[in-house]
Structure 1
Amino acid sequence: MMRKKAVLYLCAVIAVALLMWNLCKGPPIRDIKDVFGIPKAATVQTRTPKTSPKCNLSRNCSFDHFPFSITSGAADVVGPKICFDGKIVLSHVLNVGPGMNIVLVNGKNGKIETTDFFNLNYNQPKESAAYLRAIKPGTIVLVASFGDISTIMTDEVSDIFLGLGSSLVKSLKGRDNWVFAGYSGTEMKSLFEKMAVNDAKTNPYGEWPGVVELGGCFPRKA
């Protein structure tokens, strides 16, 4: 009996000695079962859920920017597409028409104010010029071509787009594809503009150039 007690006492001393040796050795014991054979409780890790970027962008925009994307029409068959802050505003079957498609957005709160389209058959160039001149300062202007917009792009209309920040509008020719995003009331050059030139040698759709698209994070108006 005394021998059994001595053995138990010796085992306890050895266990305590091993524990103290591991504590003094350096790094803490990662798993208590290394000493006592008892697994420790699992550590619960929580992660903040990730949100997918809006409008199919490759990254999320900061709070002071609006995510958007614009795709021009494909020839005169498939309509353009405009997405703003995660919402499809224009698509082939939603709010589009042949010619120059426009979306106006409040630059502060991101609210869609109006959508419209202009071409020579439905609207006179003077109507489109009057529409553009009436845009309030601080309004985000999103534009996508669908078909030939050269007939509606008079000198007056193109001058207005120059004031919105366009640098390509003066070079638009018949059946060129064009997408643009700019602010009303600023003379600063827009960073969001692309064009596909109508060229019979390179056109993927016969008499029509390829689709152009752009997207990014548009700064919110302070």
Structure 2
Amino acid sequence: MLTVTVGRTSVMRRANLSRCLWQALMALVLLVIFFTVFMQQGNPFTAEWRRAVLKGADISNQASKTSTKAAAGPCVKTRDCPEDHFSFYIQSGAANVVAPKICIQNKLVLGALLNNAGVGINVVILNAKTGEVVKTAHFDMYSGDVNPLIKLLKSVEKGSAVLMASYDEPSSKLNEDAKKLIAELGSSAVHLLGFRDNWVFVGGKAAAVKSKFEKVLKNDHANNKYENWPELIDLEGCIPKYME
């Protein structure tokens, strides 16, 4: 009796194994047919995968460029100036997150790394005779007081270059007195400066003509890169030495 039971069990196991193998073979055949038809019709997942790979490569390239730039320092020299000029580079702030920076002769003189940049209007005063930085400052134009900015602008001496960069919000407290003083330095856009506009400017004391070193990017929600703020802007060039 025991032998008969074992024999029946072995037969049943072999039958179940054959049935499982047959089902697996049929599933594999169906999978091959489905995959063949799917590929002929066009595989959107393959396209998505390809786009993801390309995007990843692009991000890697950008990261590589950023790393190279960071290794070279915060002021990558991109312009050679004549001996009787000083090179400069200005970058506005990005939204209310990334502080602006100002470089003179390929050296950072204002920025987050120096802990001397802040929201509002950032200012560097340069002795245009020697290239020496006389003063760096920043003025909160949203919740601060415009009078310290006016006082600084009135103290600028003849023969000075003045470099300015916005960060977050540069215009709310900027009254007509301050705008007039900045216009006297050569700005033609300061009177148009609005809420959260991005602005960079280089002027000089007793400037005879309007400065050519100025950029403004208006706060436009439809075109803003950072939602409620426009994209950062930058400016570079050569400041002529002041000759008496």
Q: TM-score, normalised by structure 1?
A: 0.73
Q: Which residue of 2 aligns with 1:159?
A: 180
Structure-2 separation of matches of 1:93 and 1:121 = 23
Greater than 6 Å deviation, 4+ residue runs = none
- Alignment of 1:65 onto 2:85: yes
1:75 maps to a residue whose letter is A
Q: Secondary structure at the match of 2:188?
A: coil
1:204 aligns with one of 225, 239, 243 = 225
The size of the alignment, in residue pairs, is 170
Structure 1 segment 1-222 matched on structure 2, within 5 A: 55-94=75-114, 95-120=116-141, 123-222=144-243
Q: Which residue of 1 aligns with 2:45?
A: none
Q: Is contact 1:119–1:151 with CA below 8 Å preserved after alignment?
A: no
Q: Is contact 1:55–1:68 with CA below 8 Å preserved after alignment?
A: no
1:68 maps to a residue whose letter is F
2:198 maps to a residue whose letter is N
Structure-1 separation of matches of 2:194 and 2:179 = 12
Structure-2 separation of matches of 1:55 and 1:165 = 25
Higher-helix-fraction structure: 2
List runs of 5+ in structure 2 lacking aligned partners: 1-73
Q: Secondary structure at the match of 1:182?
A: strand
Q: Please give the per-residue CA displacement for 1:69-119, whole angstroms capped at 9, x wherever unaligned.
A: 000000011000100012101122321111100000101000011100111
2:89 maps to a residue whose letter is S
Structure-2 separation of matches of 1:148 and 1:120 = 7
Structure-1 separation of matches of 2:142 and 2:217 = 23
Structure-2 separation of matches of 1:108 and 1:126 = 28
Q: Secondary structure at the match of 1:88?
A: strand
Q: Is contact 2:123–2:138 with CA below 8 Å preserved after alignment?
A: yes
Q: Is contact 2:142–2:169 with CA below 8 Å preserved after alignment?
A: no
Structure-1 separation of matches of 2:197 and 2:142 = 18
2:122 maps to a residue whose letter is N
Structure-1 separation of matches of 2:173 and 2:202 = 18
Stretch deviating more after TM superposition (205-214 or 87-96): 87-96
Instruction: Report the aligned-residue RMSD.
Output: 1.8
